[in-house]
Structure 1
Amino acid sequence: MRTSSRAIALCVVLAAAGAAPAHAQPAAAAGPAIAIDEKLPAEAKTFLRGLHPQSGDVRIAAAKAVLHLGDRYYFLPADEAKRVLTQLWGNPPEVVSDVLGLVMEKGKSPTDDAWGAVITYRDTGYVSDEDATTQDYDAVLASLKEGEAAENEQRKAAGFPTLSLVGWAQPPSYDAGAHSLIWARELASSDSKVNGLNYDVRLLGRTGVLSLNMVATMPMLAQVRQAATEFGRSADFESGARYADYDAATDKAAGYGLAGLVGGGAAVAVAKKVGFLALLAKFWKLILVGILAFGGAIVGAFRKLFGRRNEDGE
């Protein structure tokens, strides 16, 4: 069986042009058939044929947002996305419980070396961007690295590879016009010779944050960065749910700013009190999705699901 790398993206950029009106229902349609490599085992082909891709406009109800996919991308709904992430890519079910869907490019399969955008939404409340020009993200990075040894002991005990945060693959940057925050982390895993890449872009809304997360390998950095920019423009909050619609008199505030979002949300505020594991409980949940897929680990996940190699031994 062929070894596949995975680029899974959670990246969102506000796209005003072509957005569906708030009163209109997005026109989701049956998407293109998923491309299937004939070299895959029969069980893998059956798995892929059991997926039901959608294209066009797909509404993410929990976020009051719309993905304008056209015919360039396809969407897998939450239940099928979770099957891909757990059964095919080998992630534990508890880290994908909040996944709302998975988007991939037309012509690509979950078994290919191709990115896939894992969609989640956090009902955090309004995240202030007042600290956009004053944050020291190197200090945030240092805080995220603290306590890795203790966390990795827990990961080893649970049977998962250890993970270490090497540094920024792209330092956090904020687009004030689009109200989107983007950053990328380089990660080292004990079961891979190639460092992983976690590419994250968050779109700030009135009551929370829409997130798409790309996980890939560092050699794919340029490719994933380009994909994040292009695919990110397909997402938009609906009227009434946009960042500009926030009403301080009635709406809940998150209680933290952009640095807190990068560091794991509200966990940053309590990290010093309850320890680094409280922080990583949120942080690693966001980046674990797909992490077992990079390098050679996908082979083990395939074997676990399908039970054998194909006859040519690839």
Structure 2
Amino acid sequence: MRTITVWRGVLALMLGLCMWCAAPLLASAQQAAAKADDPWEEAKKVAKQGPAEITLASQAVLKLPADRVFIPQPNATKLLNAMGNPGEDPRLQGLIFPADDNAGWFMTVRYEGSGYIKDDDAKDWNADDLLKSYREGTEENNKERVKMGVTEMEILGWAQPPAYDAATHRLVWAMKSRDKGATNDDDLGVNYNTYVLGREGYFSMNLVTGLKELESQKPQAHALLDAMNFIDGKRYADFNASTDHVAEYGLAALVLGVGAKKLGLLAVIAAFAVKFAKIGLLALAGLGFGLKRLFGKKTEA
């Protein structure tokens, strides 16, 4: 009987040792599984480091500078979702981040195959109407943000009224935003929105940064715009009136929100909230490019 008791004790000890040895392995396996599902870890695997030439939607080529990083789809959508932006946008081509941790900005790249957009009505748009449309779109988007447990956003007004350059076929504006109910000026964010027109549609390359940094960051947006060019046959000047599809609306309608609502373009409001997503963003530092300063002050456990 004593022998049986002794063996029981030995077996219990051995079992305890096995459990003790297996615990680190189990924890490592759990950590590895969690890491595999981390959108930031997955983004690192597919990130394209500049200098590189990136074809976008079979329409244009982006000559990515050496100090930039491009995250393609579907990882770009996963990152936006992780930052608190609901849903998927089939127009999204990718995200551009700076390699410099102190840069404090990033850019979304989208393409819309709308057809050729006539720009001769740009002089007729009304900035107040556009502002109203964006505010309405933000309120609609906030319903989804509430479901996700993410702080609602509000649009405060223009940081730069819309302006169109007929020579380059580029449209630019900037809108001020922040967390709803916030009173601290440090929480003010901005999207520097830019459209570039082509023969069959347009690209939007939108810089997301802080309002205080906007003036100093504008050159970053324009440098990337200069680095993206439509390929031969897809340029705005290549339009053939006898064969090409013309969009149902002009540039003014797109800006005012008529075309925007028809195409669901108010989903770009989601990008306003990217910088201010109040979720656990501790994984951002692990991505390793241009994010620590951008998100650091809003990170919550």
Conserved 8 A contact 1:165-1:186: yes
Deviation at 1:47, TM superposition (A): 5.6
Conserved 8 A contact 1:161-1:191: no
Residue 67 of structure 1: aligned partner = 62
Residue 207 of structure 1: aligned partner = 200
Deviation at 1:118, TM superposition (A): 1.4
User: Secondary structure, in 3 states, of the residue corresponding to 1:102?
Assistant: strand
Task: Provide Cα deviations, 1:14-50, integer angstroms capped at 9, x if missing partner.
Answer: xxxxxxxxxxxxxxxxxxxxxxxxxxxx968956653
TM-score where L is the length of structure 2: 0.70
Task: Give yes or no for the alignment of 1:55 onto 2:50.
Answer: yes
Larger Rg, first or second structure (1 or 2): 2
Conserved 8 A contact 2:125-2:253: no
Residue 160 of structure 2: aligned partner = 170
Match of 1:130 among 120, 123, 129: 120
The structure-2 alpha-carbon separation of the partners of 1:71 and 1:267, relative to structure 1 and needing over 3 Å to count, comes to closer
Task: Give yes or no for the alignment of 1:117 onto 2:97.
Answer: no
Give 5+ residue unaligned stretches, structure 1: 1-41, 271-278, 307-312
Partners of 2:128 and 2:142 in 1: CA distance: 22
Deviation at 1:246, TM superposition (A): 1.0
Task: Provide Cα deviations, 1:65-123, integer angstroms capped at 9, x if missing partner.
Answer: 01112423232222332333233x3333x234432122223x336xx662222111001
Partners of 1:172 and 1:103 in 2: CA distance: 23
Conserved 8 A contact 2:46-2:72: no
Conserved 8 A contact 1:90-1:292: yes
Match of 2:80 among 82, 85, 88: 85
Code of the aligned partner of 2:155: L
Task: Give yes or no for the alignment of 1:287 onto 2:276.
Answer: no
Residue 108 of structure 1: aligned partner = 100
Equivalent pairs counted in the alignment come to 249
The structure-2 alpha-carbon separation of the partners of 1:251 and 1:305, relative to structure 1 and needing over 3 Å to count, comes to same
Conserved 8 A contact 1:95-1:289: no
Code of the aligned partner of 1:210: F
Residue 140 of structure 1: aligned partner = 130
The structure-2 alpha-carbon separation of the partners of 1:221 and 1:80, relative to structure 1 and needing over 3 Å to count, comes to same
The structure-2 alpha-carbon separation of the partners of 1:52 and 1:136, relative to structure 1 and needing over 3 Å to count, comes to closer
Partners of 1:152 and 1:219 in 2: CA distance: 24
Partners of 1:188 and 1:247 in 2: CA distance: 43
Match of 1:181 among 152, 171, 175: 171
The percentage of counterpart residues that share the same residue type is 32
Residue 244 of structure 2: aligned partner = 251
Residue 221 of structure 1: aligned partner = 214
Partners of 2:188 and 2:219 in 1: CA distance: 19
Give 5+ residue unaligned stretches, structure 2: 1-33, 287-299
Deviation at 1:235, TM superposition (A): 0.9
Conserved 8 A contact 2:68-2:97: yes
Deviation at 1:142, TM superposition (A): 3.2
The structure-2 alpha-carbon separation of the partners of 1:299 and 1:179, relative to structure 1 and needing over 3 Å to count, comes to same
Partners of 2:285 and 2:213 in 1: CA distance: 26
User: Secondary structure, in 3 states, of the residue corresponding to 1:129?
Assistant: coil
Conserved 8 A contact 2:150-2:278: no
Conserved 8 A contact 2:85-2:145: no
Conserved 8 A contact 2:164-2:171: yes
Partners of 1:156 and 1:130 in 2: CA distance: 40
